Amino acid sequence: MGIKAVKRVLMVAYHFPPLAGSSGVQRCLRFAQYLPDFGWEPIVLTAHERAYERVSNDLNAQIAQGMLVRRAQAFDAARHFAIAGRYPAALACPDRWASWKFDAVRQGMALIRSHRPDVLWSTFPIATAHTIGAELQRRSGLPWVADFRDPMAQDGYPADARIWRAYDAIERRTIAGAAACTFTSPSAARTYGARYPEAAPRIGVIENGYDEESFAGLLADGHAPLNPGPLTLLHSGIVYPSERDPTQLFAALRLLGPAAQQLRLRFRGAAHDDLVRRLADEQGVGALVETLPPIAYNEALREMLRADALLVLQASNCNEQIPAKLYEYLRCGRPILGLCDPVGDTAATLRQAGLRDIAPLDDAAQIATVFQRFIDGGASARNARPDPATVAAASRRGRTAALASLLDRLAR
């Protein structure tokens, strides 16, 4: 048998281009893009494009020429197996893409035999990815990195008891079988270290980040305001009804009274536009709120650069999570208003970057105070910038260096 010249990692990830509408795509894409710079050849095992609700080709050019990307057969139970809007629950456990596992394991083992990777890597939040990783590890014996990103089985989440039990079982199997487990926030890693003390030495943090190359050319553009006159506060990305509930945000606008006319709130790609508009109308501030459809990734970055301030929404039930979008916000160098629990990891990340405009997402009075301070602050508030050293430390290339170091250790 010949000597293998390079180290290889087999990466199991549902979130990969051309999937559109999720910032989670960036994590695996950028790891795969930069790992060769650190001596690792990535092989990506992902899902067939049909499994994605929405696709876009805007990131396809970021997949390195020659990179091996294998797309296993996969279906979305809600779209492909439904009759009159209903589908068997068994086809959507632990998630709607459970069908992905069967062909992914088959193709994964074929890739292991033909390309002899040194390490396996799988990434949540699609739980099926970890079931694939676990089965490939069992059959191959290769060291396995389980990238949880965020916690899986939590108090009250998932709300469906059957799905919660499936998550709990997958979590336990993953913690037991993985050579290393990574999370994107310090609190999540601490929680799992306490939950599984025997695995604590194998649990670590690799945060999300931003891609410097994606900003190339954008920073030199002229950045006219999004709305001439009023100050535009932009939230770019999904507004989850529980985890990013904007109810008190709109109540805060109402509390501002006439001063609120100086603001416009823009929600880009919220995915729940009807809910956002209804909640704004209920507070009588619908005229101050814009809901706009998703746009290409580079265009979304350009829009962030033009905003007067960027909005972070994160409820206290996500204190152990940091929105991936936050790192792109930091790189944009715009003022950031953090509507999040002051004791959570998102607030800690903002403070580390020197940003202090923070209020709980469920406290309309405190949010109104932050908004009023931003309005009254004039040019000084509009020119507030995250700490450059903190921003520089959050690049995706730097995060990939941390992953490569972990892979090196496991390969040895």
- pTM of this prediction? 0.86
Report domain extents, the chain.
Answer: 7-209+395-411, 213-392
CA end-to-end span of the chain, whole Å?
A: 20
pLDDT in tens, the chain (412 residues): 445 568 999 999 999 999 987 778 999 999 999 999 999 999 999 999 999 999 998 889 889 899 999 999 999 999 998 888 888 888 899 999 999 999 999 999 999 999 999 999 999 999 999 999 999 999 999 999 999 999 999 998 999 999 999 999 999 999 999 999 999 999 999 999 999 999 999 999 999 999 998 898 786 556 688 988 899 999 999 999 999 999 999 999 999 999 999 999 999 999 999 999 999 999 999 999 999 999 999 999 999 999 999 999 999 999 999 999 999 999 999 999 999 999 999 999 999 999 999 999 999 999 999 999 999 997 777 778 899 999 999 999 999 999 999 999 999 8
Please give the distance of CA 321 from its chain centroid, rounded to a whole number: 10
pLDDT confidence of residue 382: 74
pLDDT confidence of residue 222: 60
Report the alpha-carbon distance of residue 412 to residue 406 in Å, rounded: 10
342's tokens: 């002051």
Report the alpha-carbon distance of residue 82 to residue 290 in Å, rounded: 33
Give CATH superfamily name and number for 7-209+395-411. Glycogen Phosphorylase B; (3.40.50.2000)
7-209+395-411 and 213-392 share one fold: yes
CATH of domain 213-392: 3.40.50.2000
All residues at 6 or more sequence positions from 398 whose CB lies less than 8 Å from its CB, including other chains? 209
Question: Beta strand 7-12 with 40-47: parallel, antiparallel or unpaired?
Answer: parallel
Burial of 85 (C-beta count, 10 Å sphere; 0-12/13-18/19+): exposed
- Cα angle 244, 247, 253; round to 5: 115
Give 287's Cβ-side CA count (13 Å radius). Answer: 7
Report the alpha-carbon distance of residue 208 to residue 328 in Å, rounded: 10
pLDDT confidence of residue 1: 43
